[in-house]
Structure 1
Amino acid sequence: MAYKLGIDVGGTNTDGAILDEQMNVISSFKSPTTDDIESGIKNVIEMLLDDIDFDKSEITHAMLGTTQCTNAIVTRKGLNSVGVIRTGAPAGTAVEPLYSMPDDLLSVIGENTFQVRGGHEFNGELIAELDEEKIREIAKELKGKVSSIAITSIFSPVNNEHEIRTKEIIEEIWDEEVAFSLSSEIGSIGLLERENATVLNASIIDVARKTIIGFEKALEQNGINANVYFCQNDGTLMSKEYTLKYPILTVACGPTNSLRGASFLSDFNNAIIVDIGGTTTDIGVLNNGFPRESSLSVELGGVQTNFRMPDIYSLGLGGGTIVQIKNNDFQIGPDSVGYRLPAEAKIFGGDVLTVTDIAVAKGVLDLGDRTLVEDLNTRLVDEIYEEILKMIERSIERMKTSAADVPVILVGGGSALIQGDIEGASEVVNPGNGGVANAIGSAISDISGEVEKIYNIDPGERENTLAEIKKIAINEAVEAGADKDKTEIISFEDVPLAYLPGNATRIKVKAAGPLRK
């Protein structure tokens, strides 16, 4: 028997689950997230192992969903120093690289930016020859100054020759190892946002490396020797090697894991998922079992980017959300006690009134010591609880694409806070093990690969061109750790771009397959 271990590190709790080959949940636990992350992971693994009655050597795969890379960008801690090279002169020099980056971020990653002659048109034709001699000068100047390099070129998602050649030249000159991020592999069309996403990816390489080492160390300390995978923000997994190359893809994987886990636990492939944690409630939409992708550019840590992100609405409402009462009026959040809930909430002897306290006072939840909240005004408790429900209902309405009622699945450690009907829901489902849906979502996921480019498609060669693009997507999934023989195309979009000359078409293909054994 082979078992899978899924771990998801949230702001409040670190959740863990063990699944067998039939995807039955054998064990699941929560443990408070720790400042060093590693200790929290180690703690939840120990709890899981104490609960099982099989040999831990049978755990063959371990998956981690983590907020480490997101937190590093937001807090500006542990980031790489980055050299930024754009091949786009003379066509792309009007706006300098990193012009919109916040000053506090620039002070950490540095302002080592360069623009070099080169780049391509939307149809892949050459704008200007690459200035290879200039690249060599830049490589010598950056040597010893930066630990990571971000390379961008005009319309590189169509033709990435200049990005690849720039990387090759630098590798020829540098004798020490350096991490490269190529924009053609990270963002979509749109030079500035793609460049920003590439720089952010380059800045979190060391954070990703430390996270990988920490996870492997926590497993080793508990005697687990398993293949390690990390969660992407599209609901699939990637190998540790792929994670080290594209750590930006871990951003927002937590809510995505919850969506995938909710789908698995409830048997719903199309629904709205409400994941209630200790600090926030994340609301997303399941389309055919996978999260709906955001169609908008995404701001991350004050930086505008255009890489793939799930369409998630986060609400400042969770079990630890602070409720303030003054003169028979109240305010819910957005501040939260987070993982300090067991020490600071009133029902546990603390002095902070939280949403959990309100749920206990309302009689919805049986937790802690209810006598400690009996002094609350019953009418006010009813009003606060009703407003909590309305906050969730308004957020669900915001995510819907039609007026029709849809199934709503409640998961997360705070899902027990909500009882009764929800306006706009055709039914409300509270699945078993929903409290650790995120950890389960990480354990059940497949491996994926994605291609998004603009192609000039000759009508006579259309079928051959599309077949080649699909092959590239499958190869991406295999490189990330998927079983080649079982990987297939799961989504395909082709949109003719009438505003561009010729037969320009935006192609987006995703392939997915089970883990390679």
Structure 2
Amino acid sequence: MRIGIDVGGTNTDAVALDGERVVAWTKTTTTADVLTGVATALAAVVAQVGTAAVEAVVIGTTQFVNAVVEARRLAPVVVIRLATPPQTLEPFTDWPPPLAAAVRARAHVVGGGHQFTGEPLQALDADAVREIVRTAPEGCEFVVSGTFSPVNPDAECEARDLIDRVRPGASVTLSHQIGRLGMLERENAAILNAALRPLAVRVITGFADALADVGLDVPLFLSQNDGTVMNLALARAFPILTIASGPTNSLRGAAFESAETDCIVADVGGTTTDIGLVQGGFPRESAIAIDLAGVRTNFRIPDVVSLGIGGGSLVAQHDGEVSVGPESVGHRLTERALVFGGDTLTLTDVAVAAGLADVGDPALVAHLEAEFTGRVLVHVHERIAEAVERAKLSAAAIPVIAVGGGAFVVGDEMPGVSAVLRPGHAPVANAVGAATANVGAEVDRIYSLAERSRDDVLAEARLRAHERAVEAGAVAGTVRIVDEEDLPLAYLQHTTRVRVRAVGDLGTFVPPREEQLHAAR
């Protein structure tokens, strides 16, 4: 049996999954410190199923994305770019000023890096790297980003070794381990990852403590952006790869609950509606650079359309025109919504008045006219239908799975949709997605075909993806390739970009809690 927990901006949900059956679930309000809400949800589920049958706990959290958006709780970062100095576009170019001020300690460009062929651009300026590290502020994080490091990571690895010799135990993020081709975007992703690392240690330690408090001594995993999970050591090293776990969990959970491997999922929370495409049971990844809190990045993340519509969205009317969101009462829905005795008209109030939801006191919204609630719902249905159309890849009809606490605002019919399905545990589909996650790994690199065949490089990429999945905690005999791309590079003769993704079942080995905490730190 697994327990899945998903922390949203409004609610924290938890489920206990026995095979393919949800045997217990709870939904509680997300607390300001997050950890209290997680502990409450975990305790509620454990009280229903006991501790003996639980084999693992998987958690998806919004703490890391919130830290970036709010520009708070981030560590100072020293960036060392390996390229040809000087550079026209230096590190932190085009960052929002508040976020740059919170993260930037120092930024340097030193000689090093590689060409697009993988050949060295120039020798690494080891003396410059040593001096940078020697004079860097205490307690800072380091990022090393080299030109074309996804093709050849040697220069980044050499710089990391130099940093470790000058400052043993220093925390270093290498850009080739985070992002893809695209120097600035990859570097930006690595910087955000480094800034989140100390917070990740505190968060993971808090989660492990919550398990201990309810008597669980089982493996703890964090769900990541691609619908798989990572162990504590990887989560501590790469927290950026968990930053979109919320919508990913919802997409996976909805597909699992509805038994649809190819579908559109509309997850309606308290503040937003996230809409994404599921293919083969996994979220479709974005193929373009992603804007994260105003910073362009290119690490793997689901392709999701987000609308400022949720159960807590404010509803207003101006000159006969209705508006819904993007402002929301969020986790204060039970304090501020009309049906709970509050003074703010929300989308939940409209749904209760229209008979779509049964929460609070319907008498408190009896004054809302049917004509008004009808116009609000039509407005919401049209906006969701437009977003569904944007998420589709073809004109063919496809099912839509409506999940989340506010799923009742999704219309029963929309153009280009074969059916709108509402699974039995739709309100906690995100936690179901966390509980059902596999272990995965990806290889994304450029290979030369000058002296090797295409079959050889594909075989090598598949083998490395398999090995990485096992290293991440997958059972070796269950690992399988779920996605594979081979894209010849038109601008470079005899060269191809290969991307292979492998997933496998989560192992049930139970390391001692001390080992888990050591990995987290």
For residues 403 and 274 of structure 1, the distance between their equivalents in structure 2, rounded to whole angstroms, comes to 18
Aligned counterpart in structure 2 of residue 49 of structure 1, from 38, 46, 54: 46
What is residue 159 of structure 2 aligned with on the other side? 166
Aligned counterpart in structure 2 of residue 23 of structure 1, from 20, 23, 29: 20
TM-score where L is the length of structure 1: 0.95
Counterpart of 2:52 in 1: which secondary structure?
helix
Matches within 5 A, 1:43-442: 43-52=40-49, 55-90=50-85, 93-142=87-136, 144-175=137-168, 177-326=169-318, 328-418=320-410, 420-442=412-434
Q: Which amino acid aligns with 1:15?
A: D
Query: CA shift at 1:422, angstroms?
Result: 2.7
For residues 411 and 128 of structure 2, the distance between their equivalents in structure 1, rounded to whole angstroms, comes to 65
Does 2:455 correspond to 1:463?
yes
Query: CA shift at 1:122, angstroms?
Result: 0.9
Query: CA shift at 1:50, angstroms?
Result: 2.7
Assess if the C-alpha contact under 8 Å between 2:450 and 2:495 holds in 1.
no
For residues 420 and 516 of structure 1, the distance between their equivalents in structure 2, rounded to whole angstroms, comes to 40
Q: Deviations over 1:230-265 (max 9, x none)?
A: 011100000010011111101111000001001110
Assess if the C-alpha contact under 8 Å between 2:381 and 2:411 holds in 1.
no
Structure 1 gaps of 5+ residues are none
For residues 293 and 402 of structure 1, the distance between their equivalents in structure 2, rounded to whole angstroms, comes to 16
What is residue 513 of structure 2 aligned with on the other side? none
Q: Which amino acid aligns with 1:415?
A: A
For residues 436 and 31 of structure 1, the distance between their equivalents in structure 2, rounded to whole angstroms, comes to 11
Q: Which amino acid aligns with 1:76?
A: A
Query: CA shift at 1:387, angstroms?
Result: 1.2
Counterpart of 1:28 in 2: which secondary structure?
strand
Query: CA shift at 1:121, angstroms?
Result: 1.0
Assess if the C-alpha contact under 8 Å between 2:163 and 2:170 holds in 1.
no
What is residue 514 of structure 2 aligned with on the other side? none
What is residue 494 of structure 2 aligned with on the other side? 503
* Structure 1 stretch displaced more, 25-34 or 359-368: 359-368
For residues 99 and 403 of structure 1, the distance between their equivalents in structure 2, rounded to whole angstroms, comes to 39
Query: CA shift at 1:365, angstroms?
Result: 1.9
Assess if the C-alpha contact under 8 Å between 2:105 and 2:140 holds in 1.
no
**How much identity, in percent, do the aligned residues show?**
41
Q: Which amino acid aligns with 1:24?
A: R
Counterpart of 1:421 in 2: which secondary structure?
coil
Q: Which amino acid aligns with 1:306?
A: N
For residues 503 and 195 of structure 1, the distance between their equivalents in structure 2, rounded to whole angstroms, comes to 27
TM-score where L is the length of structure 2: 0.95
Query: CA shift at 1:418, angstroms?
Result: 3.5
Query: CA shift at 1:328, angstroms?
Result: 4.2
* Structure 1 stretch displaced more, 444-453 or 464-473: 464-473
Structure 2 gaps of 5+ residues are 509-521
Q: Deviations over 1:183-225 (max 9, x none)?
A: 1111101111111111111110011111101111111111111
Assess if the C-alpha contact under 8 Å between 1:272 and 1:408 holds in 2.
yes
Q: Deviations over 1:406-442 (max 9, x none)?
A: 1011111111334532333111100111111110100
For residues 92 and 356 of structure 2, the distance between their equivalents in structure 1, rounded to whole angstroms, comes to 50
RMSD of aligned residue pairs (Cα, Å):
1.4
Assess if the C-alpha contact under 8 Å between 1:63 and 1:229 holds in 2.
yes
Query: CA shift at 1:325, angstroms?
Result: 2.9
* Structure 1 stretch displaced more, 483-492 or 187-196: 483-492
Paired residues in the alignment total 508
Q: Which amino acid aligns with 1:163?
A: E
Assess if the C-alpha contact under 8 Å between 1:299 and 1:305 holds in 2.
yes
Assess if the C-alpha contact under 8 Å between 1:59 and 1:225 holds in 2.
no
Counterpart of 1:58 in 2: which secondary structure?
coil
Q: Deviations over 1:162-203 (max 9, x none)?
A: 10010001111113x221110111110111111111111111
Assess if the C-alpha contact under 8 Å between 1:328 and 1:380 holds in 2.
no
